[in-house]
Structure 1
């Protein structure tokens, strides 16, 4: 759960220009992208979350600086890439960040694990990170802050935009495609040591927080009015608590997508980032045509997201456009077609095809977690597999 301001695109970071750059063909725009990943720290003996973020972050900060950060709970670490327009560079950054933090975790006798929820429950509630803002949030939303089942880790993608109006334009047009993206990246079937029956239990836990869900259709004026009302009414403590699945950054020219679980398989993270950038490029290319965004209700989108959380990429999906029940793979194929012009403009089409084929062969993170338990019969081996994959073994 990201409760801090998005940091994957720090001010003055390389690659962050005044707006997206046009493709060489003059077609769809090719924007920078950045990734925030949240990880769990688990004890090497018990495989349960442990409150060792402070020493791990201190050790990792020497080589990484501001690219490694604390999170809401003291068993969590967040990394953030620098913005880049190149898929290969993004992969290299993610690999380096993971390997560096995993080594720092090893020195503190714990493992770095990318999973939407802990596989093994902590022996005792994990304390909240000791900052004024986190303490205030814990007091204000005490029923949500249990230090156990409420511990969740997400992956958040930033795509560069020219301004807030452009970010909201993209949020309005991309929102119906986010359930399909969520289905690709489900990676939290277990909670409290039990199989929840869902592929993304994180989605349900995170959905208990105010505004955590699909964004309404908003223009710049209505966004300001809505954000101000949410804070002034006390529903949210500040604008950083706007947890819509697609939102404009308050301090950077980006749109942030915050819909997927953290994934141990780096390829899944890269796939989601490239598809989102492809969608954004495609919609920006047609912005001058003045087409209104699809008028899909928040209620139907919420139902589609719940279906994605339940079944992932291997079951059924609720089509946000029609309300029909269809195979998830049909909706995912439509997503890839929708992103096609943007993928081709960035030179990402072949890479996305390769990543999708690999995901179909290997299965989603949730499917792989369940398969590991079926093979071993013990949750500790599920955690070990996640830790190996997270650090790149």
Structure 2
């Protein structure tokens, strides 16, 4: 929910190279849950963890809404290897800080184990939100992934948002990583998604006529009281308020760096592909809002291992086939950005091991406990379980 920083500004050298080679930069924000060092439940440890964060990471680590959460915002990158290295460094650095503070860092959508009610961070903005909206964030914290991809200008960005709408349910399915909540199986691959939808501005991006239309809707929503500031525009894709990017933000935080890098690369390739459509004057399909809502619900329920809606035929299809269809669609841009080999490898790993939700369920099916799931998540988050094989 924070709006303080959405990654750091791109360096002039990187911006010049991106413009010269007509490439898109990307950045990733990740929210994490803090749990006790021994027990599996969330703890109000964020201030203690902040005190232990190394000085070189302070500028890219920030508070989130609840005291059991912490967020990192990696710098924009051109090379996928640089993005992966930055995320690994951030995860390891914050995990080490958490350990020194008597906690563990989990990349998980919401708290798997039952535990005490967690208070919000002592911040004036968060107090205003709590007073205005009441108890819309129960539990131990909700943690997501946000991917930023550069765009040339806001008007083009709005048209990209229109083209993105049909593709986002399959991204949501691929990021599902919260089947457990408060100690029990929810029946959903992403229970965080269902909790998150309680907020009044959460949902698919509407079909937008122009950037002016976008700004008018933002102003109208603020006037209505449905959001207190532009940072509370929680559409699944939006324009960044601070940087020239589109921000895709409907997914759970994923357990491993590999998962995050795969999502980021596919997102950039999709935005790059859609930019060609926009420049060619191709109109985005105006998919009915109720159908998008149904597809996002299906993604939260089934994850990648079940079904989702093929927007072209409006028929249910295996979600993995839809993700493979997306891969084939964006393959030329994956190749042009130098990401094809890496993404092919990571797609294979995802196919073999499944989403975070599937991996958690597999551990339980083998007789593991919720505490075992938390232990695995802590290892995966730190990169100590590099293969993500359980």
Find the partner of 1:232 among 217, 223, 244: 223
* Runs of 4+ more than 4 Å apart: 12-16
Map 1:1-393 to 2 at 5 A: 3-5=1-3, 7-11=5-9, 13=11, 17=15, 21=19, 23=21, 29-122=22-115, 124-146=116-138, 148=139, 151-218=141-208, 219-393=210-384
| d(CA) in 1 for partners of 2:122, 2:16 | 36
- Is 2:166–2:287's contact at 8 Å kept on the other side of the alignment? yes
1:100-136 CA distance string (max 9 Å, x none): 00000001111000000111022x2111000000000
Q: What secondary structure does 1:251 align onto?
A: coil
Q: What secondary structure does 1:306 align onto?
A: helix
Which stretches in structure 1 are left out of the alignment for 5+ residues? 24-28
| d(CA) in 1 for partners of 2:129, 2:52 | 27
| d(CA) in 2 for partners of 1:369, 1:21 | 42
Which stretches in structure 2 are left out of the alignment for 5+ residues? 385-390
What RMSD in Å do the two structures reach over aligned CA positions? 1.6
| d(CA) in 2 for partners of 1:239, 1:16 | 28
- Is 2:169–2:299's contact at 8 Å kept on the other side of the alignment? yes
TM-score, structure 1 normalization: 0.94
- Distance apart, 1:12 and its partner CA: 5.5
1:314-367 CA distance string (max 9 Å, x none): 111111232201111221111112212211110111211111111111111001
- Is 2:18–2:78's contact at 8 Å kept on the other side of the alignment? no
TM-score, structure 2 normalization: 0.95
How many residues matched? 383
- Is 1:113–1:390's contact at 8 Å kept on the other side of the alignment? yes
Q: What secondary structure does 2:282 align onto?
A: coil
- Is 1:120–1:379's contact at 8 Å kept on the other side of the alignment? yes
| d(CA) in 1 for partners of 2:128, 2:158 | 29
Q: What secondary structure does 1:143 align onto?
A: coil
- Is 1:34–1:158's contact at 8 Å kept on the other side of the alignment? yes
- Is 2:7–2:29's contact at 8 Å kept on the other side of the alignment? no
- Distance apart, 1:378 and its partner CA: 1.4
